Amino acid sequence: MERIAKIDIHSHVRPHRVEGSMLCAEDLLPIYDQLGIEKAVILPFLSPSLSKQDRSPENSARIAKQYPDRFLWFTAVDLTEPTVDGRSCYDYLSEQKKLGAKGVGEITSRVWMDSPAVEELFECCQALELPVTFHISPDFNEKYGVVDDLGLVRLDKMLTRYPKLIFLGHARPFWSEISRLDNQEDRMKTANEPVEEGRLAYLMRSHENLYCDLSAKSGSHAMMRDPKYAADFLEEFQDRVLYGTDITSAKLLFPYRFADFLEELRTSEAISEGTYRKLCRENAIRLLHLQS
């Protein structure tokens, strides 16, 4: 079958080689070539574990400019700060969009999903037509992530409040909701049993502005744990699922396993050729207003 050039909706790239997690472009691009990834979206990662240079939106823009055929970029803000370098959230994001930012995220600030800071961000993103990628955290004990309750009830509220804003869901507490959960502790577990349809499908059916970021072990495992349900999920929501990797180390094997898994769904016709093309490429082209 024809190899489809993928677009990775979720990447993190260092400006130079450093020992430890997260790769520079020179180390990441050969992996992308193996996985058949044509382009990737660099997401700033505003975490205290990284240096200011590594985590800045300016760094993401610089790398995308250096490799224009391989990278796009999102911008980001720290929601624990009242302004961005003295500018309002709207003014800052407006400037970033003019500079080429295709969206906002990964939002990792430890604040409630429905806090005033998040509401202001979402209002600005909706007005500027910038999709937003968020990392969900189950509580304030995690190092980073926007906090929501079991059942993603605060996200549900935000999806209703900002119906024209595209939300890209990501992280284990988001993807754990693909199956029915009985308690808070299950939100961070790697479940292996077959999916018993959970809250995520309800939210997807209720809100056309909710999209799914398939990246990381959280997204890929949510699919691979139950191939039959995964095929049904991808078919039903084929216009709102996007391929991603979230590769942070050259030693990770799940991106290869997930690429093989998706290819097997395609070749076995568990999902249609059209669905495969959409999730690997076409949905990202539409969302980010790219040329096909």
- At residue 169, what are phi and psi to the nearest 5 degrees? -80, 140
- The Cα 255–Cα 244 span in angstroms is 9
Domain ranges in the chain are 6-287
Task: From first to last of the 292 residues of the chain, give the pLDDT tens digit.
Answer: 899 999 999 999 999 888 777 899 999 999 999 999 999 999 998 765 455 557 789 999 999 999 999 999 999 998 988 677 788 999 999 999 999 999 999 999 999 999 999 999 999 999 999 999 999 999 999 989 999 999 999 999 999 999 999 999 999 999 999 999 988 888 888 888 999 999 999 999 999 999 999 999 999 999 999 999 999 999 999 999 999 999 999 999 999 999 999 999 999 999 999 999 999 999 999 999 998 7
C-alpha distances out from residue 27 to 12, 72, 200, Å: 12, 17, 35
Rounded to 5 degrees, what angle do the CA atoms 270, 272, 277 make?
125
Pick the CATH number of 6-287 from 3.40.1390.10, 3.40.50.300, 1.10.10.60, 3.20.20.140: 3.20.20.140
Model confidence pTM above 0.85: yes
Report H helices in 36-113.
52-55, 57-66, 89-99
Structure letter (DSSP) for residue 188: G
